[in-house]
Amino acid sequence: MAPGSLQRFTSLYQLLDPEILANPYPLYHALRERAPVHWDPYLHAWVVTGYENALTVLLHFSADRTPSPQALEEYGLSQLSPIAAVMTKQLLFMDPPGHTRLRTLAAQAFSVSRVERLAGQIQTVLDDLLDNLAGRETIDIISDLAEPLPAIVTAALLGVDMADHPKLKTWSASFAEVLGNFQHNPDRALRVLNSLEEMTAYFRDAIRNHGGRDGLIRDLASARVNGEQLTEDEVVANIIVTMVGGQETTTNLIGNGLLTLMRNPHQMTALRADPGMLPTAVEELLRYEPPSQHTARIAPADCSLGGQSLRKGQAVIAVMAAANRDPARFPDPDGLDLRRQDNRHLSFGWGAHFCFGAHLARLEARLALRAILSRYSEMSLAERPLQWRENLGLRGLVSLPATVA
């Protein structure tokens, strides 16, 4: 491709531009209109923005995408090997039969009843967080509510000391740097390595010394299916992915959700008046501003997708946030409709890797929105411009100051 045409080339890589990151949806539309499946020479990957094509990728392509130690050495990134070693044991990056084995064992520990037992605790945490804000006219929705809530709930879910929740938050924020980002940053890599060492030691200790404490760590370490059990390394790796998955995305759902409501005050008023709308409202907020915008896969064989010829082993990025606004699937895709009925968005992924914590995320978001909207009869944006986190995949705000009454 000639350099001139490269400059005019529209690329997912443009998310690095803060203005585009602030509102990536016109870029996604432009990419989809050009071709719902296209080769991106900057990212060296196929980028998939159409709903049907993204569904095919999530259902049929390989999730085994962690670079091997040899590949990392070739790229000059061998210092990242310890991170890759943990990721290869996480269910998010595995194909069957390894994925099926892990997911079956993990499902025994992370049951619907375990999540439902957390509802009372989530409500208490919310009430305490809101009580602490009493008398304030301005709050930061991110640091005052959307970050501490999932961190405290994650501590309760895992069965570790509740007082350790700031540690869980720091580790999760640091590990999230390697998820969802295209760009490699050596300083951040060092931070991730240090925190990986700390959290691995912490969770090993929790397995060995607190094995009797009610929680996901104990249940994952003792889960058995057909005589099979997880190794300690597998428990640690999957506690890490659950801890990160449980915090960063839920923070973004509450933050992006309340931002969207403040930008659509009539719909916020309607939701406040009719909490029965909460289940469809949470789904629509997930579709409209997905906390996790895209994920990656590998083409499992030479194949055709959206009229393009893919070669076995090529990288593929499924942009769920673009698929969620595909006009071929959703009527008025850029419109916010908190009562939308046919809403099979892809924000939790689809198929074998469908989000393991979706039940908990939905519960936390519904309870949080209900508590916040009933506590404040007025809520509006206190500051512009907003600062979005630099992570291109995990879409969320650095802070969200709001005036409340």
> Where along the sequence are the contacts to ligand HEM (CB under 6 A)?
58, 91-92, 103, 241-242, 245-246, 249-250, 253, 291-292, 295, 347-349, 353, 355-357, 360-361
Helical segments of 136-225, H only: 148-158, 165-175, 186-209, 216-222
How would you classify residue 192: left for phi > 0, otherwise alpha for psi between -120 and 50, otherwise beta? Answer: alpha
3-state SS assignment for residue 328: coil
Q: Which residue number, 251 or 267, has a Cβ lying nearer to ligand HEM?
A: 251
The nearest distance, CB 252 to ligand HEM, in angstroms, is: 7
> Residue 215 or residue 357: which is nearer to ligand HEM going by CB?
357
* Distance, CA of 324 to CA of 288 (rounded, Å): 7
Which residues are paired to 401 by β-bridges? 140
290: cis peptide before it, omega within 30°? no
- Give the pairing type, strands 37-40 and 308-310: unpaired
Give the strands of the sheet with 45-48, arranged side by side.
37-40, 45-48, 315-319, 294-298
Q: Which is nearer to ligand HEM, 103 or 218 (CB)?
A: 103
Question: What CA–CA distance (Å, rounded) separates 30 from 38?
Answer: 12
CB of 11 to ligand HEM, least distance (A): 21
**With contact defined as beta carbons under 8 Å apart, do 51 and 346 qualify?**
yes
Q: Which is nearer to ligand HEM, 200 or 250 (CB)?
A: 250
What's the distance, CA 209 to chain centroid? 30
In angstroms, what is the minimal distance from the CB of 158 to ligand HEM?
9
Q: How many CB atoms lie within 10 A of CB 71?
A: 12
* 8 Å CB contact between 254 and 145: yes
Residue whose CB is less far from ligand HEM, 246 or 306: 246
Based on CB atoms, which residue is closest to ligand HEM, 56 or 292? 292
**CA distances for 318 relative to 111, 204, 208, 286, 337, angstroms:** 28, 34, 39, 16, 24
- In whole angstroms, the minimum distance from the beta carbon of 353 to ligand HEM comes to 4
Cis peptide before 97 (omega within 30 of 0): yes
Nearest distance in Å: CB 257, ligand HEM: 9
Choose between 2 and 37: whose C-beta lies nearer to ligand HEM. Answer: 37
Q: Which one, 1 or 174, has the nearer CB to ligand HEM?
A: 174
Measured from the Cβ of residue 349, the count of other Cβ atoms closer than 10 Å reads 20
Residue 111 or 309: the one with the smaller Cβ distance to ligand HEM is: 111
Task: Give me the least distance between CB of 405 and ligand HEM, in Å please.
Answer: 28
In the complex, minimum distance from the CB of residue 105 to ligand HEM, in angstroms, rounded to a whole number: 12
- Smallest gap from Cβ 137 to ligand HEM, in A, equals 29
Q: Is the CB of 72 or the CB of 355 nearer to ligand HEM?
A: 355
Q: Can you spell out the DSSP letters for 209-220?
A: HSTTSSSHHHHH
CB of 162 to ligand HEM, least distance (A): 16
- Chain position whose Cβ is nearest to ligand HEM: 357
Tokens for 99, please give them: 């994925």
Residue listed under structure tokens 């998955």: 245
- 280 touches 171 (CB < 8 A): no
CB of 103 to ligand HEM, least distance (A): 5
Query: In one letter, which amino acid is 176?
Result: A
CB atoms within 10 A of CB 405: 8
